[in-house]
Amino acid sequence: MNETSAASQDTPVVGFIGLGDQGLPMARAVAEAGFPLRVWARRPASLKPLAGTPHEAADSVEDLAAACDIVALCVGTDEDVERLVTQMLPHLRSGAVLVNHGTGVPATATRLAEQCAAHQVAVLDAPVSGGRSAAEEKRLTCMVGGPDTAFEQCCPVFEAFSAHVLHLGQAGAGQTAKLFNNALLILNQRSIADIVALAAQLDLDLGSLVDVLKLGSASSAALSLLNTMVRPDNVEHLSTVEALDTELFDQAMRDAGIEAGEVTERGLSGARGLPALLTLLNG
């Protein structure tokens, strides 16, 4: 257990659960910004990368909840979030804020906000965009939904790892923005695949063509991620994640009574076709 750095009386104690690819650098940034950091992980090995970072490891989810003013979750699914909230809620302090940095559907964010309000605990859905590299460089974009007071309380924490922090409305607004963000990225990947497939029928160097497109008005994040963040060693995993994100988008639209079948179908095609696109570009 490491000593937590001294903090002023009004500095909130921040708990963090989910020390994965993106969560680990986020948690580290929180501690580096001077916030007392408490962490919990199912596997002790997950805590080893925090060596040298001021933090205190909690023995249980319940102990972490009782010790913190703000608890941030960066875990895989809404089901994971809801399971953790059920464990923590009886132990969270009145006036505490629960933050979900994972990607999920707005309906879950609304349900959690209602559930926690009965315990005088506020909830923010605050998914982030940018990936591990942006988290390490403290330049994530954080999209937040939830009460104004809770947002103001947590904004300095979000700024520890974000270049942009945007409060978009009440519960679910952050998740809605993240799902639209993901959907557009995946749709752009499908459009890139269409263009590359046509170009492959010509006597062109596809890598050089993509380099040119990145420099012109066709440039996009989807293009810039190819062979940088999206690589042969992780493309299959990213393809699966993007397909799941597309299904979350479709669920959110259906929950809102919006027909988005055409967008969903094209998005799934873009997600599932990502490995083939990268293979084509890399010969």
Q: Which residues pair with 125 in a beta bridge?
A: 100, 145
Determine how β-strand 14-17 pairs with β-strand 37-40. Answer: parallel
Structure tokens at 79: 């089901």
- From the number of C-beta atoms within 10 Å of its C-beta (0-12, 13-18, 19+), residue 86 rates as exposed
pLDDT digits (tens, 9 = 90+) for 148-168: 999 999 999 999 999 999 999
Report pTM.
Answer: 0.92
252: which residues sit within 8 A by CB, 6+ positions away? 105, 106, 107, 175, 176, 179
Of 117, 218, 157, 114, residue with least CA distance to 12: 157
pLDDT digits (tens, 9 = 90+) for 203-227: 899 999 999 999 999 999 999 999 9
How many residues are recorded in the chain? 283
Mean pLDDT of the chain: 95
Domains of the chain: 14-170 (3.40.50.720), 177-281 (1.10.1040)
Return the ∠ at Cα 143 (arms to 165 and 108), rounded to 5°: 150
| pLDDT (0 to 100) of residue 8 | 39
Cβ neighbours around 106 below 10 Å, total: 24
pLDDT digits (tens, 9 = 90+) for 228-243: 999 999 999 999 999 9
